[in-house]
């Protein structure tokens, strides 16, 4: 089955700096890779996703890159703000069913210091 590894587990940056979180996956058939932001006591919020036919996607300060050959994808947050502080999770589908179940990485606790 699918296995998703996420690094780092914690990340502290200064306000205005960039933050990068990386994930690797094992199932070469995976074709959907979402990223979530989870604040304390709340459900995960989808912030950006990418499908296997695209190498990069950007939405304002957030971007995701995908390298299918190497089976890794990354989240990039630029111009970080204190409100970006949260736990971020990557995920990948098990198999090639984009509507199928997601396997999650271990999470990254991002702290943005003002």
Partner 1 sequence: GAVVSQHPSWVICKSGTSVKIECRSLDFQATTMFWYRQFPKQSLMLMATSNEGSKATYEQGVEKDKFLINHASLTLSTLTVTSAHPEDSSFYICSARAVGAFFGQGTRLTVV
Q: Which residues of this protein are in contact with partner 1, per CB under 8 A?
A: 32, 34, 36, 41-46, 49, 89, 91, 99, 101-107
15 vs 39 by CB, closer to partner 1: 39
Closest to 71 (Cα-Cα) out of 43, 46, 96, 52: 52
Return the closest-CA partner of residue 107 out of 34, 2, 10.
10
Looking at the Cβ atoms of 12 and 45, the one nearer to partner 1 is: 45
- Find the shortest distance in angstroms from Cβ 109 to partner 1: 8
Least distance in angstroms from the C-beta of 59 to partner 1: 12
- Least distance (Å) between residue 16 CB and partner 1: 27
Residue environment code for 74-89, b if the CB has 16+ CB neighbours within 10 A, otherwise e: bbbbeebeeebbbbbb
Distance of CA 89 to the CA centre of its chain: 5
CB nearer to partner 1: give 103 or 112: 103
CB closer to partner 1 out of 12 and 18: 12
**How is residue 54 written in tokens?**
């695209």
């Amino acid at each position: 089955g699918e296995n998703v590894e996420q690094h780092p587990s914690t990340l502290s940056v200064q306000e205005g700096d960039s933050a990068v979180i990386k994930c690797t996956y094992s199932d070469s058939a995976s074709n959907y890779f979402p990223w979530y932001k989870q604040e304390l006591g709340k459900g995960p919020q989808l912030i950006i996703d990418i499908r296997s036919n695209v190498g990069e996607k950007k939405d304002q300060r957030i971007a995701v890159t995908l390298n299918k050959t190497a089976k890794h994808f990354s989240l990039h947050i630029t111009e970080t703000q204190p409100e970006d502080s949260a736990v971020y999770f990557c995920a990948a589908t098990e198999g090639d069913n984009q509507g199928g179940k997601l396997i999650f990485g271990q999470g990254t606790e991002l702290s943005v210091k003002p």
